[in-house]
């Protein structure tokens, strides 16, 4: 058995056996989608004349995927280091790149499954999301977004030494970012200065790329810009993550 297969299989089992994480990964964002979707059912956003669901569906999806990527890797890294499992891996001939590749593939799998579920639910009657013909462009954006947020999660998991610290740091990061990037409330409803602030947030670009691809809103350049920005964030946070990575909590 190859090290990659072994790690990916163990990671998959750990993922599907953890009911609490499954709930937070899949059901919790759906809850937002359902609540916002039903509150604003059939309504349009005044500023743009477009239905609410065309904002909320890609927004909640982006936030859910980003959240799962950050929390998943941050918890795993903190736990592996705390339990000395990283040391065990360090003492085998398995290269760090194999470990990263396995975690990356698991995170991509989770993210794509989430996106399929969230978009599927949003398309149900009652929510009524109309998916645009250029929806396949969602995939590259998702992959780049997951990569960027995975890198952020690595940094969180490196600095946090307890589950409480992971939850505190990740929530402080992700909840305000979700509101400021238009995941729950359409950006078009926000004042201009807040829209400018959102330009430094990676979730803003995932939202733009996702809603551009799913709903066909805005020019294609919005999508390209989103991809480029996510790639930039991925490189930046990836470099910081590799630079600060620790094998052990002990000095």
Partner 1 sequence: MTTHSTPPPDTTAITAITVENVRKRYGDRDAVDGVSLAVRRGEFFGLLGPNGAGKTTLVEIMEGLRQADSGTVRVLGQSPWPRNTALLPRMGVQTQSSAFFVRQTAREHLATVAGLYRHDRAAADRTLASVGLTEQRDVYVENLSGGQRQRLAIASALVHDPELIFLDEPTAALDPQARRDLWEVLRALKSEGRTIVYTTHHLDEAEALCDRVAILVGGRIAALDSPHQLVTAAGAPSRLLLPAGRIPVEDADAIPGVDRATVQGGSLVLETAAPGKVLRAVDALTGLDGVMTRTATLEDVYLELTGAAGEPAAHPHSTES
Stretch that binds partner 1, among 13-21, 144-152, 166-174, 211-219 (CB under 8 A): 13-21
Residue 18 lies near partner 1 (rule: CB under 8 A): yes
Residue 219 lies near partner 1 (rule: CB under 8 A): no
Q: Which is nearer to partner 1, 3 or 34 (CB)?
A: 3
Beta carbon of residue 85, minimum distance to partner 1 (angstroms, whole number): 5
Beta carbon of residue 9, minimum distance to partner 1 (angstroms, whole number): 7
Which residues, 232 to 251, sit near partner 1 by CB under 8 A?
247-248, 251
How many Cα neighbours within 13 Å face the side chain of 84? 2
Q: Is 186 exposed, middle or buried (0-12, 13-18, 19+ CB in 10 A)?
A: buried
Stretch that binds partner 1, among 10-18, 30-38, 124-132, 137-145 (CB under 8 A): 10-18
In angstroms, how far is CA 147 from the centroid of its own chain? 9
Compose the 37-76 pattern: x for residues touching partner 1 by CB under 8 A, - for all others: ----------------------------------------
Q: How many residues bind partner 1 (CB under 8 A)?
A: 29
Residue 44 parent element (H or E): strand 44-45
Rg over alpha carbons for the chain, rounded to the nearest Å, is 18
Stretch that binds partner 1, among 47-55, 89-97, 163-171, 226-234 (CB under 8 A): 89-97
Cβ–Cβ under 8 Å, residues 131 and 57: no
Q: Find the binder of partner 1 among 92, 97, 244, 249 (CB under 8 A).
A: 92
Beta bridge partners of 51: 44
Alpha helix locations (H) across the chain?
3-17, 19-22, 28-39, 53-82, 85-90, 96-122, 138-159, 163-180, 192-197, 202-215, 220-244
Residue 41 gets which letter from DSSP? T
Binding site for partner 1 (CB under 8 A): 1-3, 5-7, 9-10, 13-14, 17-18, 79, 82-85, 87-95, 247-248, 251
């Amino acid at each position: 058995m190859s090290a990659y297969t072994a790690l990916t299989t163990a990671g998959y089992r750990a993922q599907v056996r953890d009911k609490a994480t499954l709930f937070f990964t899949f059901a919790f964002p759906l809850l937002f989608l359902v609540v916002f979707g039903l509150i604003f059912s059939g309504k349009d956003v005044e500023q743009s004349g477009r239905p609410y669901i065309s904002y909320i569906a890609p927004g909640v999806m982006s936030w859910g995927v980003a959240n799962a990527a950050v929390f998943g890797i941050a918890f795993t890294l903190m736990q592996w280091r705390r339990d000395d499992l990283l040391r065990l891996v360090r003492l085998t001939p398995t290269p760090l790149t194999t470990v990263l590749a396995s975690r990356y593939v698991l995170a991509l799998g989770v993210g794509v499954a989430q996106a399929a579920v969230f978009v599927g639910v949003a398309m149900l009657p009652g929510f009524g999301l109309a998916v645009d013909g250029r929806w396949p462009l969602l995939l590259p954006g998702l992959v780049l977004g997951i990569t960027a947020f995975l890198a952020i999660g690595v940094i969180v998991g490196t600095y946090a030494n307890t589950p409480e610290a992971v939850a505190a740091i990740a929530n402080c990061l992700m909840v305000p970012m979700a509101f400021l990037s238009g995941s729950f409330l359409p950006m078009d409803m926000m004042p201009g200065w807040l829209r400018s602030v959102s330009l430094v947030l990676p979730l803003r670009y995932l939202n733009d790329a996702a809603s551009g691809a799913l709903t066909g809103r805005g020019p294609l350049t919005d999508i390209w810009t989103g991809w480029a920005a996510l790639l930039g964030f991925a490189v930046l946070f990836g470099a910081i993550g590799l630079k600060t990575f620790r094998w052990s909590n002990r000095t």
